[in-house]
Amino acid sequence: MKQAAGEPQADTGLGPAFSALLQATFITNLGDGMRLAALPLLAASLTSSPLLVSGVVAAQFLPWTTFAPFGGVIVDRADRRGLIVVTQAWRGTVMAGLGLAVLGDVVEVWHLFVVAFVITAGEILVDPSVVATVPTLVPPTQLDRANGQISSVEIVTNNFVGGPVGAAAFGLAPWLPFVVDGSTYLVSILPFRRLPANEPKRKANPAGAIPSVRAELGAGLRWIQRHPFLRPVTLAMAVFHIGTAGAFSLLILLVIDVLEAPEIMFGVVLAAAAAGATLASLVAARLVDRFSRRSVQTVAALITTLSVIGAGLAQTQSQLVVAWIANGAGGGVLLAIGRGFVQRHTPNDLIGRAAIATRMITRTSFVVGALAAGSVATAFSIRWSFVMASGFHLVGSALLWRSFDHELTPA
């Protein structure tokens, strides 16, 4: 979307509409960061079972295996601005409800499974809407820059600020981070409402009729399956993210049980990852300009692999912090560059479903990885779950390198 003549340039340099999107991302992810730190802490306070703790993480990604295709159709058929506003409203209500349950001391582990599932169902509607909106706000040549800015905001607020604040708030009052998270969903509605409304373009079939929802459900998956580059790169990241989930799902137990650190240290570790990821995501586009997407993405994946090995071997809190800085740096580059693949290689009226399809595949890997890590930790030890995670990272890195053999120059 081009700026109107005479309209002042926003601080982002990408226009006022993109600035509104960035502001909304900042607000909602600040609360999410608090929840991402507080929810594992709450789970660990309710149970000592590694499988149940990792199960809460798995529940956060389970909707991607069930609701995701419907979400993709909704994103491509609906006014994305209106869809985001409505979804943020009910997500805020759900999180406030969890906060009240904690305050009333009536919360149980199964409540966390339900809340994690419901919040992710909203993510399935909001995140692909944002992905599909970005190409309408900035020119194709600025996609890496725009995605890098969004990624850095997500990383800073989710981990660098939200993580330590969420852990500290949980220690002060366990209900507080969840109520704040609910409030940020509601407040984010204000900048989201400043986004331009879109008119969904539904392509008619040869007979002139609009395809049914059933006919559109598999469109995103079929696009990914048939695309010579998106298919192998999505498979590579699916394998890689089994390791991602395996490491993250039991990070809280590595901190408080294995290293016997205080709860606030979990927030510090998340902040360490954010420090590395923030810098990495901001320079990711420059690295691609100097080298290649293939080289940058593969090296980032290998750095993440080494960081997980380092975390599993860490004997002190400082060693874990160093390892997780590297983990954040690798993840920051993978996210900033990788999220542009679907945008570059997919028609805009199909982006929502294609983005959903790729996330459905990779998020299913998160469910597998989290449950696998919990099972390994139960049978052996928490450290062995990190060994398992690094193995999947290594295989995923090799597949990622090979996937670029099929990269095409988008039209």
The reported pLDDT for the residue numbered 351 is 76
At residue 48's C-alpha, the angle toward residues 323 and 361, to 5°, is: 60
The reported pLDDT for the residue numbered 10 is 41
The reported pLDDT for the residue numbered 5 is 39
The reported pLDDT for the residue numbered 315 is 95
Dihedral sign (CA 344, 122, 32, 41): negative
Domains and CATH numbers, the chain: 16-190+215-406 (1.20.1250.20)
The reported pLDDT for the residue numbered 194 is 85
- In angstroms, rounded to a whole number, what is the distance separating the alpha carbons of residues 223 and 233? 13
pLDDT, one tens digit for every residue, the chain (411 residues): 334 433 334 445 677 888 888 889 899 888 888 888 888 889 988 988 899 988 888 888 888 887 776 776 777 777 888 888 999 999 999 999 999 999 998 988 889 999 988 888 888 888 778 877 887 787 777 777 787 788 778 777 776 777 788 888 888 899 999 999 999 999 999 999 888 876 655 554 555 455 555 556 577 788 888 888 889 999 999 999 999 999 988 999 999 999 999 888 888 888 888 788 878 877 887 888 888 888 999 999 999 999 999 999 999 999 999 999 999 999 888 887 887 787 788 887 777 678 777 878 888 898 999 999 999 999 999 999 999 999 999 999 999 999 988 776 544
The reported pLDDT for the residue numbered 87 is 92
The reported pLDDT for the residue numbered 200 is 59
- How many Cα atoms occupy the beta-carbon half-sphere of 202 within 13 Å? 16
The reported pLDDT for the residue numbered 211 is 57
The reported pLDDT for the residue numbered 216 is 61
The reported pLDDT for the residue numbered 213 is 54
Angle between helices 264-290 and 143-155 (to 10 degrees): 170
